[in-house]
Amino acid sequence: MQPVDYTTLMASCSELRAQWLPARLEQVYQRDRFTIAIALRTIKKRGWLDISWHPQAARICISDPPPRIPDTFTFSQQLKHQLGGLALITIAEVSPWERVLDFQFAKRPGEAPLWHLYVEVMTKYSNVILTTADNLVVTCAHQVNNQQSSVRQIQTGQPYELPPSLTNPIPNLQETQEQWQERISLIPRPVWRNVIKNYRGLSKALVKPMIETAGLDPEKSTDDLNSSDWEKLFLLWQKWLRILEKLDFSPSWTSTGYSVTGWGAIESVNTVGELVKSYYTQQLNQQEFRQLHHQISQKLNTITSKLQLKADTFTERLKQSDGAELLRSQADLLMANLQEWRSGMKNISLADFETGEAVIIKLDPEKNAVQNAQSIYKKHQKLKRARIAVEPLLAEVQAEIDYLEQINTFLSQLDSYRSPEDLQTLEEIWDELIQQGYLNAPEHHHQDNRKDTEFYRYQTPGGLELLIGRNNRQNDLLTFRVAGDYDLWFHTQEIPGSHVLLRLDAGAVPDEVDLQFVADMSAFYSRARQSEVVPVIYTKPKFVYKPKGAKPGMVVYKQEQVLWGKPQSAEVHITQK
How many CB atoms within 10 Å of residue 63? 23
Query: Strand, helix or coil at 71?
Result: coil
Q: Locate the domains of the chain by residue range.
A: 6-140, 177-270, 319-399, 456-576
For 91-126, the pLDDT digits (tens) are 999 988 999 999 999 999 999 999 999 999 999 999
One DSSP character per residue, 271-334 reads -HHHHHHHHHHHHHHHHHHHHHHHHHHHHHHHHHHHHHHHHHHHHHHHHHHTTHHHHHHHHHHH
Looking from the CA of 446 toward its CB, the CA atoms found within 13 Å total 15
For 155-182, the pLDDT digits (tens) are 999 999 999 888 889 999 999 999 999 9
For 121-141, the pLDDT digits (tens) are 999 999 999 999 999 999 999
Give Cα 549 distance to the centre of its chain: 28
Q: CATH fold of 177-270, please?
A: Helicase, Ruva Protein; domain 3 (1.10.8)
The helix or strand, by DSSP H or E, that contains position 131, with its residue range, turns out to be strand 127-132
DSSP at 439: S
For 40-70, the pLDDT digits (tens) are 999 999 999 999 999 999 999 999 999 888 8
Looking from the CA of 352 toward its CB, the CA atoms found within 13 Å total 11
Angle at the Cα of 388 (from 382 to 392), degrees rounded to 5?
145
CATH superfamily of 6-140: ibrinogen binding protein from staphylococcus aureus domain (2.30.310.10)
Q: What values do phi and psi take at 287, rounded to 5?
A: -65, -45
pTM: predicted TM-score of the whole model, two decimal places: 0.81
> What span, in angstroms and rounded, lies between the C-alpha atoms of 220 and 215?
11
DSSP at 60: E
Nearest residue to 32 via CA among 522, 445, 384: 445
Nearest residue to 160 via CA among 138, 181, 183: 138
For 237-260, the pLDDT digits (tens) are 999 999 999 999 999 999 999 999
Q: Decide: 463 and 502 in contact? Cβ < 8 Å.
A: no
